[in-house]
Structure 1
Amino acid sequence: MYDLLIEPLQAEFMQRSLLTAVLVGIVCATVGCYLMVQRLALLGDAISHSVLPGLVIAYIIGIDIFLGAFIAGVFSTIVIAWIHTQSQIKEDAAMGIVFSAFFALGITLMTVVQKENKIDLNHFLFGNILSVTQSEVINTLVITLIVLVVIVLLFKELMLYTFDPVGAQAAGLPTNLLNFGLMVLIALTIVASLKSVGVILVLAMLITPGATAYLLVYRLHMMMIVGAAFGVISSITGMYLSFHFNLPSGPAIVLVAFSFFLLAFLFSPTQGLLTQSLAKTE
């Protein structure tokens, strides 16, 4: 048992991968709680898919792919807001339109680049945390710290806006700025997670740990703490399973996170499906 735990830590690439996985587990769960409470899971999906063309364009012109992804993610939120405010299209429909168009553009660009350069860019889609570099670990750490510091500093304002946007506006808070700031935090979180789980699976890490915590606790700050704990445990466990059983790391992390959600869904003391059934029969 001891060897199973220590053996992966002997390799430098696993040390970097585990550190990145822990950071991603924390930041995704923390930001994802806002998406859970506001019922905006589709927004996370929209932004995560929308970063793909930014990634590929950044690769083509030779700049940092993190920067390209972030710009594309923020730009997609601006386009969503523009369509929603300038037409009768509902926000969820605008999200679906934008993320599908951006994702299609990203896939097209990937296909063109791979034909011309004979390289594999599929790690953008599914992640490849085992190949994370020292500079990418630092980038993920910096992004995680920025996101967490902003959330701590603006916790009360974001909480009021999240639960009562009308009340927040009446209280004089800049709700439009808070909304845009939250979108930027989501985009940053997705960028930080790209190397770990990729564009397609990042939504799972944004939503699943927070949803698990949502079934267990009620207060937002406790949701963030419990969700982050599930995110970290899922990330570490998934990495160990990936190492010992030669599994793809991103999907392994997501499946572990889903397993925790399933346990909470069935056995949560207050909201569990089985515990509620047992309580009714007693």
Structure 2
Amino acid sequence: MEILETAFMQRALLAALLVGVTAPAIGVYLVQRRQALLGDGIGHVAMTGVGLGFLLSTSPIWTAAVVSVVGAVAMELIRAYGRTRGDIALAMLFYGGMAGGVLLVNLSDGGSTANLSSFLFGSLSAVSDADLVAISLLAGFVVLVSVGLRRQLFAVSQDEEFARVTGLPVQALNLLIAVTAAVTVSVAMRVVGLLLVSALMVVPVAAAQQVSRSFRATFVLAVGIGVVVTLGGTTASYYRDLPPGATIVLLAIGIFVALTASAPLLRRAPRERTPECAAPPREPSVPTQR
């Protein structure tokens, strides 16, 4: 295939595959916790890390990961203890991260608006060998946490009070979810971009929820959708010269719309396959609300 003959597209496709797995894998917990926009806030903070990477002439992925983790921990502590002024503190953190990133990029010798744009919206040709190594290591951490601790993370995402009663370290698990989300932002920013990474965390999960009835099914289907849209969007970007981040997100939204429209038909399908000669099934009793 022509797309696999160039080295930069091989790196881009591998990075897209890793992003397609990691973003929905942690996004399923964020959606369960009703923190769908957490990735967007972390993306703003990560801009300071990108600018710091340009200023120090080092890999922006690693500096963005460090700054994102610090910002995510601060967000979680503000959420837990911020009370009535927490929203103002979060707003200052988000906007300060964005402003700091723009300022540091312009202060650096090799920084420019074009360089920053590749991190904001993604770029196929921007994934280097060093970036791919960093993305692979960070993605491994995300998969290890999201899969290895899925029972504990689901419990704390579903009901914090119940998880606390059962003896789980709720605060530590909450911080771990925030840190893993921050690492995921750093993984995805080369492919999807900092401004669109939150959509890839949320939309595949929301699409999977339209047709799945269990957490496990939602998790697996969301990751599958993530892989399909990232690889499909990256391929379409190569052949049609489209921005990869926007293409990937629009594909994910398209799948969400298609599954939402077909969900009622999929739910009726088992009933319609009942043989005509069979006795009609008894209607399940519906408990009345008191």
Classify the TM-score, shorter chain: 0.7 to 0.9
3-state secondary structure, aligned to 1:122? helix
- 1:255 aligned residue: 250
Aligned residue runs from structure 1 range 49-64, under 5 A: 49-64=44-59
Give the direction of change, closer, same or farther, for the CA distance of 1:268–1:193 in structure 2 (3 Å limit): same
Q: CA deviation at 1:50?
A: 0.9
Contact 1:81/1:91 (<8 A) preserved: no
CA contact (8 A) 2:15 2:132 kept: yes
Structure-2 separation of matches of 1:188 and 1:226 = 22
Residues 1:205 and 2:200 are matched in the alignment: yes
Determine which structure has the larger helix proportion and give its number. Answer: 1
Q: Secondary structure at the match of 2:229?
A: helix
Determine the structure 2 residue equivalent to 1:246.
241
Partner in structure 1 of residue 83 of structure 2: 88
Q: Note if contact 2:12-2:127 (Cα within 8 Å) is conserved in structure 1.
A: yes
CA distance in 2 between counterparts of 1:113 and 1:150 reads 35
Q: CA deviation at 1:87?
A: 4.5
Which structure 2 residue ranges, 5 or more long, are not aligned? 270-290
What CA distance in whole angstroms lies between the structure 2 residues aligned with 1:210 and 1:231? Answer: 9
Q: Which residue in 2 is equivalent to 1:142?
A: 137
Deviates more, 1:57-66 or 1:79-88: 79-88
Q: Taking structure 2 as the reference length, what is the TM-score of the superposition?
A: 0.84
- The CA deviation string for residues 151-188 of structure 1, in whole angstroms up to 9 with x for no partner, is 22211111111111101111111111000011111011
Q: Is the 8 A contact 2:54 2:110 kept in 1?
A: no
Distance 1:130 1:190, change over 3 A: same
Percent identity over the alignment is 28
Distance 1:91 1:129, change over 3 A: farther
The equivalent position to 1:127 in structure 2, one of 122, 126, 146, is: 122
Deviation at 1:191, TM superposition (A): 0.6
The code of the aligned residue for 2:210 comes to: L
Q: Does 1:10 align with 2:5?
A: yes
Deviation (angstroms), 1:85: 5.1
1:155-170 matches, within 5 Å, as 155-170=150-165
TM-score normalised by L of structure 1 = 0.87
State the 4+ residue runs in structure 1 displaced beyond 6 angstroms: 114-119
| Equivalenced residues, count | 268
Instruction: Quote the Cα distance in structure 2 between the aligned partners of 1:267 and 1:36.
Output: 22
